[in-house]
């Protein structure tokens, strides 16, 4: 259902208007990643170390956002030094890329030599 809603209203407001001509492209589309990143920081920022799978489960079950929005928000947070992603997953395997379930998002500190805090 959420996928269908995001297709209809990419702003995340989930309101209907027939004022948009289907044959015209939308000039501006709102990026939901900053809003979701702020929500993630508010929900999980005090938790220390959290599995990406726990964040994904929360995003899918407790918010209106989709998996792709979670990925974009985590990418934004990682690149903005709001947190760092540990190179070793919770199960001991190395992290190659992305945010698979076992990857640890570390809100406690930033890697040595980097300044933290997007917010």
Whether the CB-CB separation of 51 and 103 falls below 8 Å is answered with yes
Are 69 and 36 spatial neighbours (Cβ–Cβ below 8 Å)? yes
What is the reported pLDDT for 109?
Answer: 67
**Residue 3 resides in a domain:** no
In a domain, 7, yes or no: no
**Does some domain include residue 116?**
no
Sorted by sequence, the CB contacts under 8 Å of residue 25 that are 6+ apart come out as: none
Q: For residue 45, count CB atoms less than 10 angstroms from its CB and return exposed for 0-12, middle for 13-18, buried for 19 or more.
A: middle
Number of domains in the chain: 1
Neighbours of 40 (CB within 10 A): 25
The CA dihedral of 49, 54, 60, 63, to the nearest 10 degrees, is -40
Q: What is the pLDDT of residue 95?
A: 87
Confidence category of residue 110, pLDDT binned at 50, 70, 90: low
Per-residue tokens: 30: 């709102």
Average pLDDT over residues 28-44: 88
Q: Is residue 2 part of a domain?
A: no
Range of the domain at 78: 31-110
Answer whether residue 97 is part of any domain: yes
Is the pLDDT reported for residue 31 higher than 90?
A: no
pLDDT of 119 above 50: no
- Any domain includes 105: yes
Task: Give 15-25 pLDDT, tens digit per residue.
Answer: 555 555 555 55
């Amino acid at each position: 259902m959420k996928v269908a809603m995001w297709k209809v209203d990419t702003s995340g407001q989930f309101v209907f208007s027939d004022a948009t001509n289907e044959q015209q492209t939308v000039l501006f589309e709102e990026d939901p990643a900053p809003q979701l990143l702020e929500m993630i920081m508010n929900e999980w920022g005090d938790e220390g170390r959290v599995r990406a799978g726990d964040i994904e489960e929360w995003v899918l079950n407790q918010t209106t956002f989709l998996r792709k929005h979670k990925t974009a928000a985590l990418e934004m947070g990682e690149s903005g030094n709001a947190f760092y992603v540990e190179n070793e997953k919770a199960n001991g395997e190395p992290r190659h890329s992305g945010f698979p379930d076992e990857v640890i998002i570390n809100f406690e500190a930033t890697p040595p030599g980097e300044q933290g805090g997007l917010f």
